[in-house]
Amino acid sequence: MSVPFHMSRTSISRHVMATCQVIWDVLHPLELPTPTAEQWRMIAKRFGDLWDYPFAIGALDGKHIALQNPANSGSMYYNYKGYPSAVLMALSDADSCFILVDCGQYGRISDAGVYISRISTLLEEKQLDNPTATFKISGSDIDIPFMIIGDEAFPLKPYLMKPFAARTLNAKRRLYNYRHSRARRAVECAFGIMSRKFEVFQRPMRVQPDKAVLLTNAAVCLHNFIRRRDGNLVDSSSTVTYEVMENRGDGMQPLAINARGGRATDEAIAIRDGIADFFSVPDGSVHWQNKLVFRHVLRPDGE
């Protein structure tokens, strides 16, 4: 940018960071406000309408934001793939807009590590005003609460569901995993849209971690701003190319699945089993789920 604007790189960098700070200060309370109980219920309704998972109030996941050699950090930012990164943990709604973000943890920390350190505190201490009402479902006496959904890296909690382990799958659990993963796609889409919209995420950031966090936070606010006003338009990808940097990763990368959240409580296990039962009966199933989930399963006649 220094050539077309006839400014030095130092001045451009200073203006970019100042602009990102203003974007965060102004848009953060507007585009990332803490939802009220009624807004959480509206988010759950959207998950039911779009993703057929009416109990969810958010989809949770994390990504590595690739960095280039942070100064004086030792190995703290080096992740399991061998390149330095900062962790972006985010909770998304059904329309792939971010609800809650936590950026800046060391790259060596897994999904569950970031969750346990910060986000779980907000949920367990009820600082997010998440609704306390429960659902009654067909064929079960279990009260199903509003919950967030994550991948297998997270601990199983009454308010946090994750898929069944692959070694324990049967027909009913396969159906649950499909419905769960389908709803969790919302947060994956949010990361994908943001990384394609802002090309700073398509290569390692050549800034120190504190500035990378500021850039990421500003991009999150702009992502929500654009999605809510221009979300239905086709997102044209850029033709800009960058040099290849070996062993540095490509912008956003998934986090490691190497953490253990401890043994799940009986309540959490019962809730997940109850939802799995509900997704298998006519009141909770969708007509195309069996065809998609079992399309590779051989029939008795071998066809």
> Which amino acid belongs to residue 99?
I
- 106: β partners: 86
The residue length of the chain stands at 303
Q: Both tokens of residue 69?
A: 């050699």
- Please check whether residue 55 is in contact with residue 44, taking contact to mean a CB–CB distance below 8 angstroms: yes
- Torsion angle (degrees, nearest 10) of CA 186, 218, 77, 257: -10
- Strands 147-149 and 56-66 turn out to be parallel
Average pLDDT over residues 289-299: 75
pLDDT band (50, 70, 90) for residue 49: very high
> Which amino acid belongs to residue 130?
N
pLDDT of 42 above 70: yes
Other C-beta atoms lying within 10 Å of the C-beta of residue 178: 18
pLDDT of 292 above 80: yes
Distance CA 221, CA 25 (A): 10
Query: Which range, of 14-18, 44-48, 64-68, 122-126, averages the lowest pLDDT?
Result: 122-126
Average pLDDT over residues 171-176: 92
Q: Helix or strand or coil: residue 58? A: strand
Distance CA 138, CA 33 (A): 35
Distance CA 303, CA 107 (A): 47
Q: What pLDDT sits at residue 33?
A: 92
- Taking only the tens place, the pLDDT of each residue in 194-250 is 999 998 999 999 899 999 999 999 999 999 999 998 755 444 444 444 344 344 445
Distance CA 135, CA 145 (A): 6
Q: What pLDDT sits at residue 113?
A: 63
Distance CA 55, CA 144 (A): 8
Q: Which of 80-84, 141-145, 163-167 has the highest mean pLDDT?
A: 163-167
Alpha helices in the chain (DSSP H): 2-5, 9-31, 37-51, 111-114, 120-124, 171-197, 209-230, 266-280, 289-293
Burial class of residue 167 (count of CB atoms within 10 Å of its CB; 0-12, 13-18, 19+): exposed
Distance CA 19, CA 217 (A): 12
List b or e across 16-31, with b for residues whose CB sees 16 or more CB atoms inside 10 angstroms: bbeebeebbeebbeeb
Does 131 or 161 have the greater pLDDT score? 161
pLDDT of 31 above 90: yes
Q: Both tokens of residue 149?
A: 């959904």
Average pLDDT over residues 80-97: 90
**Phi, psi (degrees; rounded to nearest 5) at 96:** 65, 30
- Torsion angle (degrees, nearest 10) of CA 166, 168, 172, 174: 10
pLDDT band (50, 70, 90) for residue 193: very high
In the Cβ-directed half-sphere of 185, how many Cα atoms lie within 13 Å?
A: 10
In the Cβ-directed half-sphere of 87, how many Cα atoms lie within 13 Å?
A: 26
- Strands 147-149 and 143-145 turn out to be unpaired
pTM for the whole structure:
0.83
- 59: β partners: 92, 149
